[in-house]
Chains A and B, each alone.
Chain A
Amino acid sequence: MSLRAATLEYATRHRLRAWEALPWAAGLAVFFLFPNHLAFGTQVLIMILFALSLDLVLGYAGIVTLGHAAFFGAGAYTVGMLAAHAGWSEPLSGLAAAALVAGALGLASGWIVLRTHGLTLLMLTLCTMALLEQAANMGAAWTGGFDGMPGLEFQPLLGRFEFDVLYFRSQYLYALAVLLGGFLLVRMLVHSSFGRSLTGIRENLLRMHAIGAPVRARQVLVYAISAALAGVAGGLFTQANGFVNLAVLGLDRSAGVLIILILGGYGRLYGAFVGAIAYLVLEHTLAKAYPSAWQLGIGLALVLVALYARNGVLGLADGLRRRGGAR
């Protein structure tokens, strides 16, 4: 690529391309084509949003965390507890509350744990999550303990659209709309100068310090934003399903979202989409019939990805395209 073309590509990188409408058209098409699979589709959309929030810290800022489910869970429990104990069951303001609580938690814990790095950081994120999980398990009077809170009811969306417990029609469109909002936010962030400085911190920490970038403040800020977004995904989970339990907070969910993002390709916006769809569709079809074989397959896939395909499915696709173009 010539310098001029490279400069042009770089200067216009933030513009929306025509093909970027495709995923959303496909999302709408699913609504009309597979009316019986919208409950599953809603879970996929929620996981995409969660993976997108992880992409912000992991893919762009380069913060390796094993405890991101802490924020998903915080959002999920915020919405659940507000509905169960305070009678606050209006969905949109519930999501706002989830974002606020999870974001505040991200700000506080990020301010503390981001002083460290490497193994210690990994441990501290893990401990934060384990702490919340135990707290949720303990405070049974508020959180329902091990069983969680089943049978939560929410007011109609915008006062008009009832949540549809059988076919998930309104939940699906609601999740799609929230995902679109979250995606636009993340897209804007990563293309902004803030996003570029995050990439700089990931690529060369020392140099960013040397040019006077406020490294720690940026890391804490992106951690809090990402936590808020994960909280929205969690809140959406509670509202769409009408229940919340300890599974929203565990190592399984943290590892699951990490796997989804890596399989799809991190640090590239659409990796979360590809990863979540591929992983959840496979899980949905295979895991119930052959749970152990499924785990074996996922394990082998992870080993192979770590050894040979570090940029995930989209990275492989890029590699193939580049090889094709060189011929």
Chain B
Amino acid sequence: MDLASILLGGLASGMVLFVVSVGLSVTMGLMGFVNLAHGGFAMLGGYAVVLAMRHWGLPFFAALALAFLAVAALAALLERTLYARLYRAGELDQVLFTIGLAFVMIAAVTLAIGPESQTVALPEWLRGQTDLGFLSYRSYSLALIAFGAALMLALWLGFERTRIGAQIRAAVDNRRMAQSLGVDVGRLFTLTFALGSGLAAVGGALGAEILGLDPQYPLRYLVYFLIVVAVGGLGRVSGVFFASLAIGVLDFVLKFNFPQGGTMFIYALTLAFLLLRPQGLFGKRA
């Protein structure tokens, strides 16, 4: 494998990490809520796509849109009824509550669908190879990279150029001040929580090719999602973007060159990095 292929492979898995983790970063930054169940929403998205395609015969992209809407709606409901009660509670209660929620999701999926892993059937035109001129590479990975880049651009525009985006930025930086200026932070949070969970659902479905999809998904990748968020800095979309790409590429390169080392290097690097910059790449100092 040459350098370009390794880089593309790493970028593709980095984009998956980005799509799944970006919502986690924004909600953690906004409310300081430690949401360990975030991976559960990604898993539910993957299952929604698989089931919608299998039982209703929906095409891939329609199923993806459906998964986004369904998971976002579920997240909004959970946020209003349960999460909202724990905003003022300590970290420990939030950790327990969300681990419990992740357990419930895992068990519910195992009971309803079964413990075996599922595959997402890709549309025909995404399956082959694409000739880039200097090398030909898997079309799906290229599509993932393009999608991730487009999403980053859309989120950046949304955050920088819209009124809601400005309100979210204000609330991440200083919630009290934003509130006293009349920003309805509660409503804002429901909105971003739903959007973030919906994106996680899309990421879970798109990433099934790379990360796999089975009931243990939420806890297996939890550490990865949290690393991305912590390294990127809470509530910073661009931070999550660069952290995801860096971790995706590093992981790919290291696993390729030192298959024995596995993920150890990522943990060691994260430890070292967070000690030097506890606030993450772009986070503000607490």
A-to-B contact residues, CB < 8 Å: 58, 64, 66, 112-113, 115-116, 118-120, 122-124, 126-128, 130-131, 134-135, 137-138, 251, 255, 258-259, 262, 292-296, 298-303, 305-307, 310
Contact = CB atoms under 8 A, between A and B. Distances in A.
Given A119-B28, A130-B263, A298 B100 contact: yes
B275 interface: yes
Contacts of B110: 292, 295
Nearest to B286: A118
Interface in B114-162: 115
Given A122-B34, A303-B82, A293 B111 contact: yes
Given A130-B263, A307-B97, A298 B278 contact: no
B96 A302 contact: yes
Given A127-B227, A296-B103, A306-B100, A66 B267 contact: no
Per DSSP, chain B at the interface is helix
B267 to A, nearest CB: 4
10 contacts: A116-B274, A118-B91, A122-B95, A123-B227, A127-B270, A128-B271, A258-B96, A299-B99, A303-B97, A307-B86
Interface of B: 28, 32, 34, 82, 85-86, 89-97, 99-108, 110-111, 115, 219, 222-223, 226-227, 229-230, 234, 260-264, 267-268, 270-271, 274-275, 278-279, 286
Given A305-B96, A307-B97, A138 B91 contact: no
A115 B107 contact: no
The 9 lowest CB-CB distance pairs between A and B, nearest first, are A302-B100, A299-B103, A306-B97, A299-B104, A296-B107, A134-B264, A295-B107, A303-B100, A131-B267
B103 A119 contact: no
Contacts of A307: 82, 85-86, 97
Given A120-B230, A137-B262, A296 B96 contact: no
A137 B274 CA distance: 24
A292 B227 contact: no
Contacts of B111: 292-293, 296
B101 A299 contact: yes
Contacts of A300: 100, 104
Nearest to A305: B96
A225 to B, nearest CB: 20
Contact of A126 (B94, B223, B268): B223
A11 to B, nearest CB: 30
Nearest to A116: B278
A258 B98 CA distance: 13
Nearest to A118: B91
A295 B86 contact: no
A281 B94 CA distance: 26
Contacts of B286: 118
Contact of B86 (A112, A128, A296, A306): A306
Given A123-B270, A134-B263, A303 B104 contact: yes
Identify which of A131, A305, A310 gathers the most chain B CB atoms within 10 Å of its CB: A131
B93 A310 contact: yes
A135 B96 contact: no
A130 B28 CA distance: 22
Given A112-B275, A120-B278, A299 B262 contact: no
A303 B95 contact: no
Given A134-B267, A296-B108, A66 B219 contact: no
